[in-house]
Amino acid sequence: MVSYDAFRAKLEEKLSQGMGEKLLKSRVFRHLFKKVFSWQADFQLKTTEEMTNFALDITAKSLKEGEPTVWTSAFFPDEIAYAAGMTPFSPEIASGVMAAFGQAEKMLKEAESIGFSPETCSFHRCAGGMDINDYLPEPAMILASTHLCDGAPQLLKILASRHRVDFNVLDVPAGRSQKAEEYLTRQIEEAFSSCEKITGRKISQNDIEKSFAASNRAREKWLEVCELRKKFPPVLTSPAALSFVYLNFLGYGNPRTADIFSLLVDELKKKLEDRFDLNHPGKVRGNKENPYLLWLHLRPYFSREMFDYIQGRAEIVYEEMNHLFWPPLDPDEPFKSLARKILSHPGLGPIDNRVEAIKEMIEDYQIDGVVHFSHWGCRQSAGGTYQLKDSLKKMGVPFLDLQGDCVDPGGFSTGQIRTRMESFLEMLESRYQAVN
């Protein structure tokens, strides 16, 4: 049987030879790719394998001719796409995958050669380079949102023009007022109408109820995961936990997401049986071995070195990007309900909203220190680090701001990051030992 490392090496070789489009759109290749990941990848949890299969199936469906595929930006409510019978696809996630296979630098250069500024977010530049090289599925339309990210709508508008498809953007206000909700509600209703024009079919109330029911069920199961992590923080740590960001971006509205989260709940409970007394939450058989960390924003997708360096000295027990912040969806008021979901994001509006959410995470997950990965080009996240550091200092919680890039290895200084991480971990260990 072909090993995962050998398969990855062969894939990287073929991609570098410019065979990306032919390979990615090959049915035989997708089948082999899925089997190799399922059989050979180092899945610590069955859930991760199921999520990988889901991602591969969604990607394969988006590449299939005749299937209406809609490109969406991160944080866009994909319940709309699923209700419309369309397959959502994220160019930003595709950039992360390309980085994981060591091909991002080539795509970034391609994008910059036609005018994409190197000052912009590498997720977007890489996606632009991938589109130039026909690595992405053909979109039937593009849906984007301005909240949390200004770069994605600008990129997708350019690519919509290139593909000559409709471009729809939700202009999300920064406030949470009734006026803002009404303004956004009208736009979401228009987004539903745009999907109907593209697919040629009416989105029925039954379609909405199915999509919202799938989303609400997934929400409930993810909250169960979060409760287990609150009571027993080390049960699920990063980088494995950060991989579930994929489902938070593209999974809500699809019934398989709830099944995957349900499996995760079962696996975590089984994992806990030998170490914890599940009938007495928080009562650990044995002492807390390492300090607990909260991870803010994303991570570099081309390397796990940072996490390998942390392992054994601290545990990343929760991640900001996995924080569930929105109320259940109401199928009887679908447009208003989705508007409320969007407007409830703690990263939207004053930095105080994000600070309060982070404080809540610190208390819920027994956090000893906070690490913020400031991805170059992501102004909405990195721009608030001074206020975060100041607020956490008042709480007595150590804070580390690591500056780098999630997609571009050229924007990642391994030596500098290791030096800063070492200093932070030494300080954290010293504080932890003194308290315990």
Terminal CA-to-CA distance of the chain, rounded, Å? 49
Q: Per-residue pLDDT for 408 more than 90?
A: yes
Cβ(31)–Cβ(57) below 8 Å: no
Identify the three-state secondary structure at position 207: helix
**Integer angstrom CA distances of residue 266 from 269, 273, 315:** 5, 11, 22
Q: Which of the pair, 58 or 88, is modelled with greater confidence?
A: 88
Cβ(185)–Cβ(171) below 8 Å: no
What mean pLDDT is predicted for residues 271-285? Answer: 65
Query: What pLDDT score was predicted for residue 412?
Result: 83
User: Of all residues in the chain, what percent carry a pLDDT higher than 70?
Assistant: 87
The tens digit of pLDDT for each residue in 365-388 reads 999 999 999 998 887 788 889 999
- The phi, psi pair for 257, rounded to 5°, reads -65, -45
Q: Where are the beta strands (DSSP E) in 283-346?
A: 292-296, 315-319
Identify the three-state secondary structure at position 245: helix
What mean pLDDT is predicted for residues 400-422? Answer: 91
What mean pLDDT is predicted for residues 108-132? Answer: 94
Nearest to 433 by CA among 328, 291, 250, 238: 291
Q: Per-residue pLDDT for 411 more than 90?
A: no
Q: Which of the pair, 332 or 410, is modelled with greater confidence?
A: 332
What mean pLDDT is predicted for residues 331-353? Answer: 96
Query: What pLDDT score was predicted for residue 26?
Result: 52
Q: Which of the pair, 433 or 205, is modelled with greater confidence?
A: 205
What mean pLDDT is predicted for residues 252-257? Answer: 98
Q: Which two tokens stand for residue 377?
A: 């080009």
The residues with which 145 forms a beta bridge, in sequence order, are 170
What mean pLDDT is predicted for residues 250-270? Answer: 97
Q: How far from chain centre, in Å, is Cα 246?
A: 4
Query: What pLDDT score was predicted for residue 36?
Result: 43
**DSSP for 282-306, written as a single string:** T-BSS---S-EEEEES---TT--HH
The residues with which 166 forms a beta bridge, in sequence order, are 141
CA distance 82 to 102: 31
CA distance 320 to 378: 15
Query: In one letter, which amino acid is 342?
Result: I
The residues with which 316 forms a beta bridge, in sequence order, are 293
What mean pLDDT is predicted for residues 155-171? Answer: 97
What mean pLDDT is predicted for residues 4-33? Answer: 52
The tens digit of pLDDT for each residue in 209-240 reads 999 999 999 999 999 999 999 999 999 999 88
| Cis peptide leading into residue 118 (ω within 30°) | no
User: What mean pLDDT value characterizes the chain?
Assistant: 88
Q: Per-residue pLDDT for 39 more than 80?
A: no
Lowest mean pLDDT among 54-63, 143-152, 324-333: 54-63
What mean pLDDT is predicted for residues 360-367? Answer: 97
Identify the three-state secondary structure at position 86: coil
What mean pLDDT is predicted for residues 7-13? Answer: 55
CA distance 92 to 81: 17
Q: Per-residue pLDDT for 162 more than 90?
A: yes
CA distance 356 to 321: 15
**Integer angstrom CA distances of residue 383 from 69, 350, 352, 378, 394:** 33, 12, 13, 8, 19
Q: Which two tokens stand for residue 405?
A: 């890039």
What mean pLDDT is predicted for residues 326-334? Answer: 98
CA distance 21 to 15: 9
The residues with which 276 forms a beta bridge, in sequence order, are 284
The tens digit of pLDDT for each residue in 165-197 reads 999 999 999 889 999 999 999 999 999 999 999
> Long-range contacts for 79-82 (Cβ within 8 Å, ≥24 apart)?
79/211, 79/212, 79/215, 79/252, 79/253, 79/329, 79/338, 80/143, 80/188, 80/191, 80/192, 80/195, 80/211, 80/253, 80/338, 81/143, 81/195, 81/253, 82/210, 82/211, 82/214, 82/253, 82/254
Query: What pLDDT score was predicted for residue 363?
Result: 97
Q: Which of the pair, 296 or 55, is modelled with greater confidence?
A: 296
Lowest mean pLDDT among 19-28, 131-140, 145-154, 372-381: 19-28
Nearest to 165 by CA among 279, 89, 250: 89
Cβ(51)–Cβ(187) below 8 Å: no
Query: What pLDDT score was predicted for residue 3?
Result: 43
The tens digit of pLDDT for each residue in 58-86 reads 888 887 777 899 999 999 999 999 999 99
Q: Per-residue pLDDT for 31 more than 60?
A: no
Query: What pLDDT score was predicted for residue 13?
Result: 60
Query: What pLDDT score was predicted for residue 360?
Result: 98
What mean pLDDT is predicted for residues 249-255? Answer: 97
| Cis peptide leading into residue 239 (ω within 30°) | yes
- CA gyration radius, the chain: 21
**Integer angstrom CA distances of residue 400 from 43, 421, 427:** 29, 8, 11
Q: Per-residue pLDDT for 285 more than 50?
A: no
What mean pLDDT is predicted for residues 50-54? Answer: 89
CA distance 138 to 69: 7
Cβ(167)–Cβ(70) below 8 Å: no
pTM above 0.85, yes or no: yes
User: Of all residues in the chain, what percent carry a pLDDT higher than 90?
Assistant: 69
Nearest to 76 by CA among 90, 60, 94, 93: 90
Q: Which of the pair, 278 or 211, is modelled with greater confidence?
A: 211
